[in-house]
Every structure is written in structure tokens, then in C-alpha cells.
Structure 1
């Protein structure tokens, strides 16, 4: 299986934020089209839709002659009725979709799930296929994650967390140790699909040495074995999909292969890293640092306001206490361009699925 990010098909509240299908104007327009003999407008239920995405769906849906039913609630057995009569739904990546929900969707007539993400480890794709549901991810601008990855690299090697924390309390002294320059370092890129390749394009401008690892090389790069990449790299950055083969790709043994003082950057998926093994390597000072936009056990914590409630992840608390660890809440993808891409491609994927089913 490739470690590149490829679009592929495999088989709180129930109140919608807006439901175009319930508006009088929409119903009148649909009746007029039916009377004229035109095909009925396609209806899609949009689950887990934030206000920012909702604006885009409302703006784009009429251009594609689609009627969206939009809710901010994640899809669950409790709100299956919102998809009644719709063969296609669009879902977010923030909440895992249970198998019981997939079964209920299949029984309700849903045949296609478009997830507005590149990864779809929040869905049991094989189970979905077994109940007659196809699942497909979307492509969006790789520049969003690539830009963010470079930012995290620079922040990590320049001790930005410590600098900013000191400045926030008016301590303007220099750090005890100077930062490092990318041109003097070797960067190991694991996964060279669209995002990994975009990261490498940016790194070339810094003049650093680069190594790459991917089971299916897709770009011009110095490909080496994973073990060699880990031994030689000053920074290792993860851009491979999460699946059974890549779960804990960087496990205790492989983390032990890293150079003393090496940095790990993860903007892929949290479970690519064995966090239990990572924490002591950072606490001991054997690794130089880490910058993590994703984390094992992030669900229910990231995207929530946790200021006034206890954090259930001890690993997260230990990591955040370290001066050489940067944590951000799975936000690398979150740009206006990427969000627009994801919404538009989710609509287009649904239309393509329906068109394929209608025409053979």
C-alpha cells in the first residue's frame, strides 16, 4: 500500500443549521422543474458542518444544482432521519463514525459517504462496504499542510516555544542554546504524496539535504530505507496515511534509531507515532524536540474548549509541559483555500457517484 496521500474510493443536536430542502422557495423550484420534466435536484445531507463550511456549502450548492441539508451535529443513529431520501452524505473528520451508525445509514438508503478530509481512519471503510456504502475522501490544497509543516520545523529548531513564553512574561533574554539553520540539516520526509512532495518543494529553497521514504516513490527525491532515513535525519516529518501498516510506524525501536537531538514533526495522524515511546525520549533530552499537530487520543479534546474542564490525556499534559514540544489542535489543513477545496470536492464527488450509478 502506498504511503502517499491519494484520493480513493473504498467501499448534540439533531437540529439542522439550515435545510434548503425545507424552504418554500426550494420546494417551489423543485416542483417547477418536475412539472417541466427536468431531473429532480440532488439532495445531500452535510453532517458535522461548522459555520465556516456552512457558508461555503450554501454558496456553492446552487451552482451545482444541489439542495443541502446542513447540521453541525456529527452523524449518528440519533440523526439518521436528516439523510432520509438522500443517497449521498458528506461528513467531517472530527468524530469517529461507529459501525452501528454505518449500518443504520445503509438501512436508510445511504449508498455513499464523502468525508471532507484526506484521511478516513475515522470510518471503518471495509465495514461500510459490507453494508453497501462506498466511502471516498477529498483532495484539497496540499499547500495548507505543507506551509504549516515548514512553520513547525522552523519553530522547533529555533526554540520558538521557549522564546515566546519568555517574551509573554517580559523576559527578553536569549535562550541558553542557539537555534539551528535548515541549510545545515538533513530532513527526512516519510510519505511523498501530494503533501509530502509539497513539503519537499519548499525545503529545496532552504538548501537543506533531503531524504525520502515511501513504498511507492512518486517524485524526484533521494529515496532510502526507513531505517536509513531515521539514522541520518536531523528532522523527521510524517506525511503518510494512517492504516494497519503505518500504525505506530515510529515505534519505540524506530524512535531509538533517531539521532541524538533529532526533531519529529507530525502533521499526518497521531497514531503514526507511539506516544508512550515518544514522551520519555523527549523528557530525557535524547530527542531535540517535537512539533505535533496531531496526537493519539485527540478526539474529544481537539476542537473543544477545555479551559474549564480536566484534560483526559496524561500524555498530552506531559508533552505540553515540555519546553521543546509544540502542540497544535489538528489545524494544519485549516486555510480558506483548503476549506473551499474540501467543500467543493465533496459536492463534486457526490455528483460523480450519482452520475455513475444513473448511467451504468
Structure 2
């Protein structure tokens, strides 16, 4: 059984007052950032939860901190190995709530094979949708070059003029909650919108992926990462894109073949890219590298390009979405406990 929080588009999860049937429970929260801890200490006691708050990600060395708690909550910033999952089961863990929409940082199939159910959370899609539109606008207005020049006190106009969204065709790949929210915002700008999804979920003009790539001035990625969508935009598909087009990725890094993207950008075939997620971001994003230089040649090549914007997987990170994430992770665990009470 999948224990997933209900989708929410702007409302609190209703956890501020516990339901009469709420189960008093202990839950271990691993990889808990300071802002998450503040919210947990505010919300958890109101729903009868005794949180054990751990700053470090779950690993073999701290599995014992889950002993006595059937449910744990984990962050998305670190991979969880199969040996750690097995050790968690040995410690009595039966359910993991990951504080993220995606679950690619752990092997869900292996977890199920050792008796651990895994659930993700829903949070406001507006956080990522707003950020996606911001990246689109920054990309087509060449914001990186403008900001760099101004930082050097060069206040002249750039050689390349920007574009207006109303003049552009935007292809939205993936029309789930976030993709749909992006489409809603694009309508306000007057863009022509094309969409591609295995299931047509919106009233947008759905077309085959290759047709979307051929016609779109901007392609934005919002599909889940699966075996089928890994390198969804590979060298062949990037080669079919409209010359001068832009790619925006706030979904998952491996949706893009980064080497093929680099070749298209460095050759001038594509107009630019705005990337909040990257292949190989693990160990780089969410770390301070001011005195410990990045060793990834791919990341350094991307960052050196004036028409490439990179941000460190931060599109989701708003006050509203953070509260949704904490509340819905708690709710997932409470639902599991209430539905799996041992006699």
C-alpha cells in the first residue's frame, strides 16, 4: 500500500489540531535542517508526535536512533544505501516518509522487499512553478550576462536583445501538478503553449515530444525521473530542437543528457539553459565550495557559459512549501501508524 499525502495547492494540511483518533507516536527525522527543526518543534506536539530530530542524513552509523520508532522521515539531499535500509528494518522501521516529491535517492523496490513501505509528500506546486517562470524570464532576457556586467560596473546595454514570452512558444514536458501550474502562469503572459505527457491532463495543446521540440522556443521539464525518462532529452532529441531555443529544467538533472546539452550550447545551436537540477549534483549542491573548488569538469563548463544559469536545486524552497513538507511528512507517518496498529 502506498501512503502518500493528499495533493495540496495552497492550503495547510490541517495538522495544527490533532484528530481524535490521532496515534501518539515517536518519529525519527533524519537530515533535518534548522528551519525544518523549528517547524517540527512547533507542529509535532500538537498532533501527539514525539520527534527525534537528527541533523545528519540516515546512515549505518545512526540507524540505532530509530529504534523504538516504526516510522522515520528523511530528506532528499543524500542517497540511502540498501545496507542502510536493511539495517533500518532490523531496527524495527516499517515506514519511511521522504520529505520530497521524488524518491530517487533510495531504492523503493528493495525497501519493499525487506518490509519497509516508502511514501513521498505533496507540497505547493506554486513554489517550483513560480521559480520556473523566473528562470524562463531570466534566460530569455540574458539576465546572467546583465548582472555580471553590472557587478563589474559596466552599465552598457548588451549586444543581444531579450525576447518577450508572448512572442514565444513554450513546450511543457510533464503536466502533473507542477507542469499544470506552469501552464496556468504562461497563459497570463500570452505565450503559445504546447504540452507533452503520457496522459493529457490539461487543456493545453498536447503534441508528440519530437513535435514539441521542433516548434518550441523554450522547453521546460516537469516529468518524473524513471528508467523511461532518463536522458529524455538525449543527443538525438536535443538535435531536433529549434535553433536558438532554451531549455529550463526544474525537474530532475538526469532528464537531460548533459554532455549533449553542452555540445549544443557551446556550438551556439541552442540559445541557453536555466538549470535548477544537474546530473551529478550530489556532493556539490547544498555544500559550501568557496574554499573547496568543484572538481566536476561538466559543472565548470556549464557555469563558464554566459547563457547558462545554474541554481542549486532550490526551486521548491519557500516558506509555504517547507511547511507543507513537514506537515505532510508527519501526516504520512500518522496515517501509517493508524492503519497498521499492531494488536
1:95 to 68, 78, 82: 78
1:113 matched to 2:92? The reply is no
Structure 1 runs of 4+ aligned residues shifted over 4 Å read: 6-9
CA contact (8 A) 1:191 1:238 kept: yes
1:331 matched to 2:338? The reply is no
Cα distance between partner residues in 1 of 2:127 and 2:176: 14
2:265 to 248, 258, 282: 282
- State the 1:41 CA deviation: 2.5
2:328 to 339, 345, 354: 345
CA contact (8 A) 1:251 1:277 kept: yes
Cα distance between partner residues in 2 of 1:138 and 1:311: 31
Q: Please list, as runs of the form range in 1=range in 2, the aligned pairs for 1:166-205 lying within 5 A after superposition.
A: 166-205=149-188
Alignment CA distance shift 1:154-1:39 (3 Å): closer
Alignment CA distance shift 1:155-1:270 (3 Å): same
CA contact (8 A) 2:214 2:241 kept: yes
CA contact (8 A) 1:7 1:139 kept: no
With normalisation by structure 2, the TM-score equals 0.93
- State the 1:271 CA deviation: 0.4
- State the 1:165 CA deviation: 0.3
With normalisation by structure 1, the TM-score equals 0.89
Cα distance between partner residues in 1 of 2:295 and 2:151: 27
Show structure 2 runs of 5+ residues with no match: 6-20
Question: Alpha-carbon deviations, 1:220-239, whole Å to 9, x = none?
Answer: 11100011101110000000
1:84 to 61, 64, 67: 67
- State the 1:46 CA deviation: 0.1
Show structure 1 runs of 5+ residues with no match: 1-5, 10-37
1:74 to 47, 50, 57: 57
Question: Alpha-carbon deviations, 1:330-353, whole Å to 9, x = none?
Answer: 000000000000000000000001
Q: Indicate the structure (1 or 2) with the bigger Cα radius of gyration.
A: 1
Compute the RMSD of aligned alpha carbons.
Answer: 1.6
1:162 to 145, 155, 168: 145
Cα distance between partner residues in 2 of 1:97 and 1:248: 23
1:296 matched to 2:279? The reply is yes
